[in-house]
Amino acid sequence: MIEIKGLNKTFITPYEKIEVLKDINLTINEGDIFGIIGFSGAGKSTLIRCINRLEEPDSGTITIRGKDITLMNKEQLKEARKKIGMIFQHFNLFDSRTVFENISFPLEISGMKKSLIKDKVDEILDLVELGDKKDAYPMQLSGGQKQRVGIARALANEPDVLLSDEATSALDPQTTYSILELLKNINKKLKLTIVLITHELDVLRYSSNNMAVLEHGTIVEKGTTESLFLNPKSDTAKKFINITNSFQGKILYAEGGGI
């Protein structure tokens, strides 16, 4: 489904060149929920933004369903992006537009007739369980509801791929769980391929089937989520697991009256 080969990306500042991605090679199967984890500065967001060419790779290839998006011209890329939905950490909603209007926006841009837009948006609102909020504005919504609108908007053009860039990191644990449940449901119902970028290990443990560990712009480990949890090999994966176990241990200690 998604095949990344020899991907490299360097940012040039007035003072230095920063290699953000170094020879990334990755295969993500169709219909998978695939997680990519790493600490801040590891290159996670740059990688996911290269997949839809919001960032231009310096070299390498990114093939989605047999089409190399790195070779596409502006018009070809515009069409390809209709099938690559993206959800963001901070929602990126239009404050001046209602929930309905936020979701309908990509359909309007793609030229869909107004008579068809209403039915389509109503269908998506039901899928994300926001039918009663279609006339509300973003400022009237909770964080979880805003993210559901972001997900609904990303689904508007019936994408083949859904990219999630730290989509739950601004949410509380209970809301995070509900959003992950929604993504798993969408994956099952729509057969979508979902790529999750996160620095929250529990997000991947709960939702992803396979994962990769990014460290200083390099993939240092990849495999099934279960195998990486049971037998982490990279320093980054071991640190994440130790931090998570330590944090959960402190919670249990506190709940047991230890403090």
What confidence tens digit (pLDDT) does each residue in 208-229 have? Answer: 999 999 999 999 999 999 999 8
Query: What span, in angstroms and rounded, lies between the C-alpha atoms of 76 and 142?
Result: 37
- How confident is the model at residue 244, as a pLDDT? 65
Identify the residue whose tokens are 């403090």. 259
Tokens of 129: 């369980």
Torsion (CA) 164, 228, 28, 219 in degrees, nearest 10: 80
- How confident is the model at residue 212, as a pLDDT? 96
Identify the residue whose tokens are 């839809």. 52
Question: Which helix (H) or strand (E) is 104 found in, with range?
Answer: helix 99-109
- Where do the domains of the chain lie, and which CATH numbers do they carry? 1-83+160-170+184-259 (3.40.50.300), 95-158 (no CATH)
Query: What span, in angstroms and rounded, lies between the C-alpha atoms of 186 and 133?
Result: 19
Q: What region does 161 belong to: left with phi over 0, alpha with psi -120 to 50, or beta?
A: beta
- Contacts with 149 (C-beta within 8 Å, 6 or more apart), sequence order: 91, 93, 99, 102, 103, 128, 130, 133, 138, 141
- How confident is the model at residue 115, as a pLDDT? 85
> Would you give per-residue pLDDT tens digits along the chain (259 residues)?
899 999 999 999 888 999 999 999 999 999 999 999 998 889 999 999 999 999 999 999 999 999 999 999 999 999 999 999 999 888 889 999 999 999 999 999 888 888 899 999 999 999 999 999 999 999 999 999 999 999 999 999 999 999 999 888 888 889 999 999 999 999 999 999 999 999 888 899 899 999 999 999 999 999 999 999 889 888 888 888 887 665 454 334 445 555 4
Query: What span, in angstroms and rounded, lies between the C-alpha atoms of 150 and 182?
Result: 12
Identify the residue whose tokens are 């609904």. 152
